[in-house]
Structure 1
């Protein structure tokens, strides 16, 4: 945004003085003995704040400019999770080149996904200390650079280490994406924009193998990370040019520094700015997230539910190459890439239906049952769609593949799997925000840590399970767990309010 002119700064300075009551004049009749002490003790401190129509306030930016910021944040949120699974179709080739087994190479996915959950514990408070923009740009730059040694890794150990670093830097999209959108939009404007943004982190892991399969059809597997490096570099350069700071305290702090240079001898402050150090913020953020995770039954159970979805998704994608390239299907590389469009199609179609209806169902239930006053539990009914689709899709897919049924029959199950992901994930995220209000960020972080760790680790062990018991019983294991958790959205719809009150926390 353009810098504020001097006359506007003067106007802001004058505007702030009477509002903050710091214009008391020193009495002319003070005794000579204490006049100088009085002058020092009563130095004016002006509060730097936004005016009603302040054009530096991110919430007052033109809508077109806000959408540019959202598009950039969405691009980051899409690319980085997409990279978590982009090499899934090439696991066999990577393992062969490194002279190791597939399970060891899958450690590159595990390290990446686990870091997607751990990173936000650090980068969320860092963005509140240094600003959203600098944290985005720093991590995107490092993420881009790390793709080079990943592509050139001489052995599997180096490959896994570089992939883990990629996940750490790549977690910035999860850590700061929602916060950036909240900075720019009021509560009543935010639902649709957040719904659009969430498409990126959710569909990214599905589009990753699709893109990876197309690349492997024509190029060596190392180009998977060359492609990632090029796309990431383009997004990073674009962000350097167009991504602006959206976190209000940082924007005001920048104004404060400009005013201090212009008005030497004057003191300014930003209201509500904390003196807490970065390490204290990081410690507080991670501790609070852990307390909420294990102290709030709703967060714990719904986080386990999301962890089941993520572990199933990454386990499924890790097996796609083996399933579709083997008899009776015998897919080539291009056909294998196209098979990932099954869950992606279910995801996109359901997102177009679920996201707009979350608010509609919420408002209808509020009018019908609570005199127009909403409750967080009113976000959950649509999650029951995914609760039914998830086990159905897993049993369907596992047993049709086991029986060697035609590929359209098996892939049709993936439409339901994609639908289950978006309906559960979107409604639960909205539920967290409504139910825990000021603690929502920590509740989201708690869920992110659990689902990323479990989602990253479980695929390391499923290959042997599928070898021993087959795909029918193997996916039935996930399906049975999904059946056990299936009543959770319905139960929390009826009893969630009591649980929230009983296990309320003062953090």
Structure 2
């Protein structure tokens, strides 16, 4: 990779050119030995997955709270004397930061190491739960909820980087598939917990719950989450060698000499550049944004839908209603994880090819079909007041569609954009989070005016328009990537 194309995002392989000048012979390179146990690529599989599990839990428990307060919006509004739109800002601010945060966390992890950044995010996220729990007014509540979203995005911003540090390209898809379950499942499980808790305790206890869970996670990661970034590990090794032999100058190949400010700027601009210059990334990011905006809009309306006639659920029952998409999510995740490599190999054999990134996309077509079906299904069955089990089946299909699209597209980005994969992932995260934060602020009035049948049909119609995208990119993606090469 040339110096002009180095990727300051977590999925970058940790190698880039390094100029040593005319005195190279007087410098010693610090590197891993062959089969070096300190090299994360050589760690035992069980330990790699122990790290993947810890990173996945960070990416689950921190975004868990993004929609946790949705079932208690009326309680919050009553206590603070705020209307629904103002209360909803706490969710919108949080979700918005889930997209912005990774643009900073990624270069920070490239500068200070993955472990340091995970622990930093966990510490501040945990502490922020205190002013959220004790907030005297709605303004304080919204501000600190937004800040917690920024620090809560640390797992989303760096999880892929940690996995890439440890796994080669042939072994990565299952680890990525497992990891991707958790940050996407979190917005569904959060309201489940919130709905159950608020029927038994004051809604402020949600913040204390978050403080306890993130605190436990912080302690566990402090003791068991090891550094995975190769260059950071080598930097520690280099410092030890310099202490022992101060007369020798050591260097690390790939250790970027660029400033942190340059990395942050380059990271953000590269993600935006790839978003708006790559047709595949832009289209699939819009697709992800549709899913996120639909999900958060739906969850913001769940209490209103289920507590009114004809359903009249309690808050606990509303919480359990979130299990619909969660069930579809988990079951489909298992299917995708177990079959994505098999589908890839089948497509390669069918096309007499060694393989190409587009062979990751066939399963996305299943999600593309289920998405509009689930949206029309849910909207009109609720509109007609059918038995509660029928619209809940629609939410199972909705959860399944999310995974079918998200997991396959994320893996596709990694394969298709190689050293720029992290920018593609950051671009998708940025757009879906911003749109997912803004749209729910306005759909309440749309549902009031159109009803849930026509209101959900608006989302469903957009899903129909985007439905051919995975199939088209399966056939023409390679040609598009060649026609629009990205020189980051």
TM range, smaller chain: over 0.9
* Cross-structure match for 2:374: 393
Alpha-carbon distance between aligned partners in 1 of 2:76 and 2:193, rounded to the nearest angstrom: 17
Q: CA deviation at 1:503?
A: 1.1
Cα distance in 2 for partners of 1:115, 1:44 equals 47
Range with greater deviation from structure 2 (54-63 or 178-187): 54-63
Report the counterpart of residue 90 of structure 2 in structure 1: 108
Is contact 1:145–1:229 with CA below 8 Å preserved after alignment?
yes
Structure 2 residue aligned with 1:25: none
* Alpha-carbon offset, residue 42 of structure 1: 8.0
User: Which of 420, 426, 438 is 2:401 aligned to?
Assistant: 420
Instruction: Give matches, 1:93-492, under 5 Å.
Output: 93-369=75-351, 371-492=352-473
Tell me the distance in 1 between the aligned counterparts of 2:133 and 2:151: 17
Structure 1 residue 228: Cα displacement: 0.5
Q: Secondary structure at the match of 1:274?
A: coil
CA distance in 1, matches of 2:455, 2:77: 23
CA distance in 1, matches of 2:236, 2:411: 32
User: Structure 1, residues 160-183: CA drift from partner, whole Å, max 9, x if none?
Assistant: 100110011011111111111111
Change over 3 Å in CA distance of 1:96–1:258 after alignment to 2: same
What is the CA distance between 1:48 and its match in structure 2? 0.5
Q: CA deviation at 1:43?
A: 7.0
List per-residue Cα deviations over 1:364-394 (Å, max 9, x = no partner).
Answer: 111110x331111111111111111111111
Query: Per the alignment, in what secondary structure is the counterpart of residue 170 of structure 2?
Result: helix
CA displacement, residues 241-287 of structure 1 (integer Å, 9 cap, x when unaligned)? 11111100000010000010011212111112111011101111111
Which runs of structure 2 are paired with 1:51-62 in the superposition (5 Å)? 51-62=33-44
In 2, are the aligned partners of 1:363 and 1:372 still within 8 Å (CA)? no
> For the residues of structure 2 that align with 1:217 and 1:54, how far apart are their CA atoms?
54
SS in 2 for 1:268: strand
**Structure 1 residue ranges without an equivalent (≥5):** 1-21, 23-39
| Secondary structure of 2:226 counterpart | coil
Q: Secondary structure at the match of 2:38?
A: coil
SS of residue matched to 2:28: strand
The residue number in structure 1 matching 2:9 is: none
Deviations, residues 191-235 of structure 1 (Å, cap 9, x unaligned):
111111111111011101011111112111101111001000000
Contact 2:177 2:336 in 1 (8 A): no
The ranges of structure 1 where at least 4 consecutive aligned residues each deviate by more than 4 angstroms after the TM superposition are 40-43
Equivalenced residues, count: 468
CA distance in structure 2 between the partners assigned to 1:50 and 1:249 by the alignment: 10
Name the Cα RMSD after superposition.
1.3
Tell me the alpha carbon deviations over residues 432-461 of structure 1, each in whole angstroms, 9 at most, x when there is no partner.
111111111001101110000000111111
Q: Distance in 2 between matches of 1:264 and 1:251?
A: 19
Query: Unaligned regions of 5+ residues in structure 2, if any?
Result: 1-19
Which digits, 9 at most, give the CA deviation of each residue in 1:392-432, with x for residues without a partner? 11111111111110001111111110000000001111111
Offset at residue 41 of structure 1 (A): 6.2
Within 2, Cα distance between the matches of 1:326 and 1:42?
74
| Structure ranking higher on relative contact order (CA contacts 8 Å, 6+ apart) | 2
Q: What is the TM-score when the length of structure 2 is the normalising length?
A: 0.94
Q: For 1:506 and 1:182, locate their aligned partners in 2 and report how far apart those are by CA, in whole Å.
A: 21
Which has more radius of gyration? 1
**How far apart are residue 64 of structure 1 and its match?**
2.8
